[in-house]
Chains A and B, each alone.
Chain A
Amino acid sequence: MSKKGLPKKPMTPKRFKNLFLSVVTNPFNMIVLVSLIVLFCLIAVPLLTMIKSTFVVAQSELRRIPGARVGDFTLYYWKYLFASTMSKAILWGPLKNSLICGFLTMIVSVPLGSVLAWLMIRTDIPGKNVLSLLVTVPYMIPSWTKAMAWLSVFRNSTSGANGFLAGLGIPVPDWLAYGPIAIVLCMSMHYYAFSYIMVSGALRSINSELEEMGEIQGANKAQILRHITLPLIMPSVLSATVMTISKSIGTYGVPANLGNRIGYFTLATKMKTFINNGPESVGYAMSIVLVAMAAAIVFSNQKIVGVRKSYATVGGKGGRSTLMSLGKAKVPLMIFLGVFLALAMVMPMFILLMETFQVTTGAGYGLSNLTLYNWIGTVDKAQTYTNYPGIFRNPAFFSAFWNTIKLTLLTPILTAVSGQFLGYISSRGRGKWYGNLTEQLVFVPYLMSAIAFSTMYFSMFSRSHGIIPSLYGTFTLVVLTSVVKHFPFASKSGTANMLTISLELEEAAELAGASFWKRMGSIIVPLAKNGFISGFMLVFISIAKELDLIIIMMTPKMQTMSFLAFQYSQDGYNQMSDAVSVCVLMFILVCYIVAGKFGANLNKSM
């Protein structure tokens, strides 16, 4: 009965043969090996390649670096970014703008989302059905569409055509129409949904008996809120805060639409100009800065919240929930909320829609100013400066529409399949080295904002690497980027899905003599089906409204609807741009209805 350590056995030929066979003949090992190699190529290699390219002299900078040859090691790009006369304009200025916008967006959206969540979940505010529908509208609408709507209301003569207010004769100053205020408000209208979803989730999980206990102890409503409810939802609020800042800093579409025309740049938009106009490596260096910032934010979130997160679920029994009475304040509050939501969400959308029918934006809705030209007009009837026919007669639109459909179908299928696959590996490899490694690799894209991630892919695949040809300007690259960017999300849902399939179900099949592939085919796949569908739906919706992720790799041949709307807006074809945006909104709406039919939890698609 002596205690022995792990036995070390002499390696006999027979033992070696059996060990070798058991590793090689087990398909699971082979799958893990292949997946790890693929993940490494898709995630680690691009990141390293991008980092490397910021230290290597490129063709276009040959003349600027005396005596250097292409491929030499250089600190030129980093010096250019951090320590040159340009630094202030290209790094510190945009960085300051990014931080200010991110911070202000957080200041507006977190309290807004949290208060809305509290009102909707814990109080007896009337008209909840309508209000909750209005509250959920913003996360159906892509953030760049909100920027378009903002422009349709606040645009002034600085960018060519009047918006709604300017058309009414109300002078709209530039500082309101474009720049930080516009960006912060638009992003807040989008990202408050984060806080709303997270806080309402936390609020739902709090048993109201906890609050009632406070009441029995003699606390008044304010004290209950302050000492019981608030501390319990604090972890969620903190998470939402961190996520909001991180997301706003990485957002491209909104600041590009609202800032570029007056020369107001954030880190994300500035980076894009470098990628387009060179030196590209400076753009890559900026992208690394963005990744580092996002990583720092995410890790600090896990540090701060991680430890305390536990008690968010302590009250998680849910159970009974009595609503707090708002007393006399309830009707005024409801009206205020309704008006606010209508003004912030519905009105701009309406104006956006109406603009598509206007000859001159901002010139009212008189019959003489109404036209269907933007939808179905032909070039010879062009009334203004437009060189394009109405979008339904424009081949560019149909090509964009088709591309969007292709992308929104192909990407989620590939993503969901790989997600289940990765989920299988992580769930069966829990606590083993390959399971952990898979989880860590898959987590990397989560650290990157969409624009930084696609920049990385752009830098990696715009050249050929050995047997991999250059994917520059191909649809494959767009799909590949979208798929890998959604890996963290898809594999998380895949892991959760696979964890619901007990290992014993597989073992029972193994005992019955089923091979690995047979087990996959007759046990795992049929059981994973539902999880697969909901994973598919979530990615499906997220892709349908995506702009930031794909904008960097767009070429005229493979542009999507989102990109087309962005392009028209940049070129000043406001009504056309609005019309395309309306189409995108309709498309997303259809996606939501379809996804809802399959029972996807849409709150997760943020």
Chain B
Amino acid sequence: MSRIELKHIDKFYSSNHVLHDINLTIEDGDFVTLLGPSGCGKTTTLRVISGLEKPQNGIMTIDGVEMINADDAYYAEPSKRGLNLVFQSYALWPHMTVHDNIAFGLKIQKMPKAEIEERVNNSLKMMRIEKFVDRYPTELSGGQQQRVAIARAVASSPKLLLLDEPLSNLDAKLRIDMRAELQRLHRELGTTIIYVTHDQVEALTMSTKIALFKEGYLNQVATPMELYNNPIDLEAADFIGNPRINLLDATGEIVNGDLVVNSELGQHIFSAKDLTDEEYPTSGKFDCVIAFRPEQIEIHTEPVEGGIPASIYASQPAGSETITTLKVGEGDFLAKELGQISYKLDQNVFAVIDQNKVNVYNKTTTRLIKRAI
């Protein structure tokens, strides 16, 4: 129930410039993930939104109300912003029981006792931890602590819920469970959620929108699938997806408005309507990079139309999927197929790549020049 707008946010730690001109609009009810490797500024952005950090430049509004105006040195107190935060470490107060941890903020708001009890019970029920109500945090497992931390954050019915890598301390199985839990929570509460993570799977599976950070800059804001299909630059392409995207050096040229690309894979012609507004030379040959996801490759053992001759360099069947390394001329790339398929090493095969799904990047600017459709 709130719309957050960040305008031209700059954050310095002494002379260290950690956030560069961040502009981001988060719509009411969004589940936005701030994604990026560690040290890219995503947690700092979250802390700026929460009010725990004061940026030196920029304006932030929540539902049109100014919360930050750096020019006037105006910073609304964190508790006046109608939000709550789940810390990476959970930050549960070790000297309070689960009940008291959740009730603390409500008591501070001087809520009537009966309402406090009701809210504590509701949030305990929502996170399914009613039976731990009298335990101390140290008497709980990591997953249970995490639920308490979330219960504490939602008990005050915040308009905006901030989560700082909440799943990073959990084991793989619990993570999948909690992802489902968080998705449901988002649906049930209808709250706007901002979620920080370095885990692309978390970002892709849960968010309605992903904001990709790179060294203190906001690199790309898009829906998860758009981000996956059309990463804005080579770094983003490399960061998203597992196994990682295949990148192959190529030469490009604009012929009659269309993009003609030559590589080890042969010649591709991409129609003008799929090209982006990014910068590229309109005449003459230029270096580019061709990018395609491992799952977009079909491997045929017999020659087929459009099949590129290749040889099997290595093959890794892993039960539900098989990852194969193919060699074409000097280059090599990965293919991912569902199911259990066995190839002989050095076997000759034919790879079919869906041309529509291919991205092309300008090697000089590293930016995307041809979108996948």
Contacts and interface: CB of A to CB of B under 8 A. Distances in A.
Question: Do A and B originate from a single complex?
Answer: yes
Interface of A: 1, 3-7, 9, 12, 14-15, 18-19, 22, 502, 504-505, 507-514, 518, 522-523, 526-527
B1 to A, nearest CB: 18
B93 interface: yes
Contacts of A12: 71-72
Closest CB pairs A-B (n = 6): A512-B105, A513-B79, A504-B91, A18-B73, A508-B91, A526-B95
B102 to A, nearest CB: 10
Given A4-B10, A5-B15, A9-B71, A513 B105 contact: yes
Interface in B89-143: 89, 91, 93-95, 104-105, 108-109
B179 interface: no
Nearest to B21: A1
A563 to B, nearest CB: 42
A502 B89 contact: yes
Nearest to A431: B14
Contacts of A4: 10, 17
B56 A504 contact: no
In terms of DSSP, what is the predominant structure of the interface of chain B?
mixed
Contact of A19 (B20, B73, B104, B152): B73
Contacts of B51: 511
Contacts of A502: 89, 91
Contacts of B72: 12, 14-15, 18
Contact of B104 (A14, A18, A522): A522
Contacts, number: 83
Contacts of B93: 505, 508-509, 523, 527
A8 to B, nearest CB: 10
Contact of B71 (A1, A15, A526, A527): A15
Contacts of B108: 512-514, 518
Nearest to B79: A513
A9 B71 CA distance: 7
A19 B89 CA distance: 31
Contacts of A5: 15
B78 interface: yes
27 contacts: A1-B217, A3-B17, A4-B10, A6-B56, A7-B57, A9-B70, A9-B71, A12-B71, A14-B74, A22-B75, A502-B91, A504-B87, A504-B91, A505-B93, A505-B94, A507-B78, A508-B87, A508-B93, A511-B51, A511-B78, A511-B105, A512-B79, A514-B79, A514-B104, A522-B104, A526-B95, A527-B93
Contact of A510 (B20, B52, B95): B52
Contacts of A1: 20-21, 217
A514 B17 CA distance: 30
A443 B165 CA distance: 39
Nearest to B110: A513
B84 interface: yes
In terms of DSSP, what is the predominant structure of the interface of chain A?
helix
Interface of B: 10, 12, 15, 17, 20-21, 50-52, 56-57, 70-75, 78-79, 83-85, 87, 89, 91, 93-95, 104-105, 108-109, 152, 156, 217
A502 B74 CA distance: 27
Contact of B50 (A511, A518, A526): A511
Contacts of A509: 93, 104
A565 to B, nearest CB: 44
B15 A18 contact: no
Given A15-B72, A513-B105, A523-B93, A6 B52 contact: no
A505 B21 contact: no
Given A6-B12, A6-B15, A510-B78, A527 B95 contact: yes
Contacts of B84: 511-512
Contacts of B105: 511-514
A502 B214 CA distance: 28
- Most B CB atoms within 10 A — which of A502, A504, A508, A526? A508
A15 B57 CA distance: 13
A22 B152 CA distance: 28
Nearest to B15: A6
Contact of B73 (A6, A22, A527): A22
A513 B83 CA distance: 11
A193 B104 CA distance: 48
Given A504-B91, A511-B85, 12 more contacts: A1-B21, A5-B15, A6-B56, A7-B56, A18-B72, A18-B73, A507-B85, A508-B91, A510-B52, A512-B108, A513-B109, A514-B105
A587 B157 CA distance: 58
Given A1-B20, A6-B15, A512 B56 contact: no
